[in-house]
Amino acid sequence: MSTAAIDDAFIQGLAPAAVWRHFAVLCAIPRPSKQEDAVRDHLCQWAEARGLSTQVDATGNLLVRKPARPGHEHAPGIVLQGHLDMVCQKNSGSPHDFTRDPIRPVRRDDGWLQAPDTTLGADNGLGVAMALAVLEDDTLAHGPIEALFTVDEEAGMGGAHGLLPGVLQGRLMLNLDTEEWGEFYLGCAGGADVNVVRAGQPEPLPTGHAAHRIALRGLRGGHSGVNIHEERGNAIKLLVRVVQSLAQEGALSSLRLCALDGGTARNALPREAFAIVSVPAASSATLRARLGEWQTLLQRELGAVEPGLSLTIDESTAVGTPDGAQVISADDQAVWLRTLHAAPHGVHRMSHSVPGVVETSNNLGMVELKPTGGSCNFMVRSLLDSGAQALAEQIVSLWALSGTAAEIAGHYPGWTPNPASPLLATCQRVYQREFKEDSHVQVIHAGLECGIIAAKYPGMDIVSFGPTIRGAHAPGESVEIASVERTWQLLTAILTELAA
């Protein structure tokens, strides 16, 4: 793309300049999951203009190879790995179009870079930017470099699944896709999706009913693995709880559900959910009053973790009672509300082998219900493959009680820690030398591509690290600017150490 199309005002004066320059380009090119063609084509052109070899596989992954710096040809080959796509989340009032519009970061006075109304794409744009900066640095001592840029990480790890054995030559890999400076990651959760689909038989809107759109907004959202233990609210679960309760009250017992939707990404905690319900016109005031009481109750329960929670009738959206309007059948309404209300969400089990880390969890991330049918998605994670399978089967069994189809799909393996990793020892030694303090070793309750790649390349030694990122997978995602410079210092020092 033309450099004239890149808004790089936000990076002026930031170091390292090369990393931030590449990140500004990535912000300018839309890169939702499964739509990475434009950014991959740009990177291919950039690499080939520098005389670097490129290879795009059938899945769409890009591999760029850079020879060792002269004199270091016998140093071990290093794979630098990150993913091209980003989670696309925005606040409901934002006009941003992730398929067309650039990300517009803002520098805060407190030393953080943030996208106020959308995700920033620091996950994993900054990891990609650092690999690109290594590829263009002709002063850095290093052995052979392979930069692997995968696709579709955020929507099912499709790129890593599609990577073929035998393509990578290096036996050491630095994954640049974690979000806490000062920590080296040596293991991660695996997981699977449970997809639920149920056909419906519409019924006409009852005579005398008026329809209203209920909006539950203002939750923090976040990463469905990294933040799952913080007990943040799930907009879908909360709204289902409210509607289910209202439909059981005498004054509102004839409430009918017309539609319900919430969440926009399987791996993000749902921040907003909306329901269209119909009640007798004479009960509209009662509905409004009860929602006010429910808002007070939920704010009392969750105020410490969800101070922005709101539950209102959306006055900005006219619903009314159009001719031919339909509602979800009474039987289907009961199935959806009761089963969603009973379905698990959150931490299922803490790890006994890795203290303080979640072992198994799930996220009810998306739901869409209409009179003609509906669907929802649960994303299950676990440090144990058997744990993920057991919880996924539990969810399938719950839905089977009502004859609703649910299938387990998209399984990916966890990354088993190797505390004796020689690469980890090198990383720790370099960190202590560069920053005069000890680093920490962690296992993360989130999905990294490391586990999938390690299964395809047995014996590959892998360590993951990155800058400090807050709010990944949610609007307002931010990165600590100083941690980016420190991460670059660490990365280049590790490469130099391995080339010695």
Active site residues: 85, 153
Cβ–Cβ < 8 Å for 374, 367: yes
Task: Compute CA distances 195 → 125, 201, 408, whole Å.
Answer: 29, 20, 7
* 3-state DSSP of 26-94: HHHCCCECCCCHHHHHHHHHHHHHCCCEEEECCCCCEEEEECCCCCCCCCCCEEEEEECCECCCECCCC
Q: List the structure tokens of 457.
A: 């390349």
> How far, in Å, CA of 172 to CA of 406, rounded?
39
Please tell me the distance from the alpha carbon of residue 334 to that of residue 328, in angstroms, as a whole number: 10
Q: Are 226 and 445 in contact (CB under 8 A)?
A: yes
Distance between CA atoms of residues 192 and 195, nearest Å: 10
Residue 205 vs residues 61, 246, 319, 327, 464: alpha-carbon distances, Å: 49, 18, 12, 6, 55
Rounded-to-integer distance, Cα 27 and Cα 490, Å: 24
DSSP 359: E
Reduced to 3 states (helix: H, G, I; strand: E, B; else coil), residue 450 is helix
Inter-residue contact 225 to 353 (CB < 8 Å): no
Strand, coil or helix: 460 = coil
First to last CA, the chain: 38
415, exposed or middle or buried, with CB in 10 Å at 0-12, 13-18, 19+? buried
Distance (Å, whole) CA 475 – CA 471: 7
Residue 283 to residues 100, 145, 278: CA-CA distances in angstroms? Answer: 44, 68, 10
Measured CA to CA, the distance from residue 158 to residue 266 in angstroms comes to 14
**Whether the Cβ atoms of residue 194 and residue 377 lie closer than 8 Å to each other:** yes
